[in-house]
Amino acid sequence: MDMKKLHFRFSLLGVLCLFFSVNAYAQEIPALAEFNQTRLDYNQNGMLILGTWAVGNMVWGGIGASHTTGETKAFHQMNLYWNSVNLLIAGFGYWQATKGNPGTDFWATIEAQQGIEKILLLNGALDLAYMAGGLYMRERGLRTDNSRLIGFGKSVILQGAFLLAFDSVLYGFHRAHGKELPSLVQNISLGPTGVNFKMDF
């Protein structure tokens, strides 16, 4: 057999073995546990902030709705209704974050990191839609002299603005954290036993 063809086949075989070796060994990277735990901590803290906002608005809304009338009463009522949902979301999100496993699987880490960033971007778009809906309600209430609709609109604008700020800040933290991922995996190297992970102290 032609030596060049034989050499090519062995080279191709070597590349394939290297590829499968990387897939087999590089998925588990110990340093990713801390990276994933930080992401879960951000989510926990975020849900605590959202839950605190929700409880505060529910108390404020309950007291305000019982002592006011007209537009102001409607404003407080909507704050109460809206944040009842926020509290449920915050509670479920916090529970999910506490049950999350800070694993060391590379591909699962990539998927989770991209997932939270996409969710927050989608939430940001929804927040803008909430605010637009609140503006529409307010303007319609003004045109039809409907104080209840005006109050509801003002509340939705306020809640949408808070959620937009909340999701934007949380996205900023997650985005900055995600940029640390390449530095965690750049020290992967092939060794006699497979893929080694090198850390500097």
Q: What is the pLDDT of residues 27-74, one digit of tens each?
A: 567 778 899 999 999 999 999 999 999 999 999 999 999 999 999 999
φ, ψ of residue 33 in degrees (nearest 5):
-60, -45
| pLDDT tens for each residue of 63-120 | 999 999 999 999 999 999 999 999 999 999 999 999 988 888 888 899 999 999 999 9
120-129: burial string, b at 16+ Cβ within 10 Å, e else: beebbeebee
Who contacts 167 (Cβ-Cβ below 8 Å, separation ≥6)? 120, 123, 124, 127
Structural domain spans, the chain = 32-100+111-185
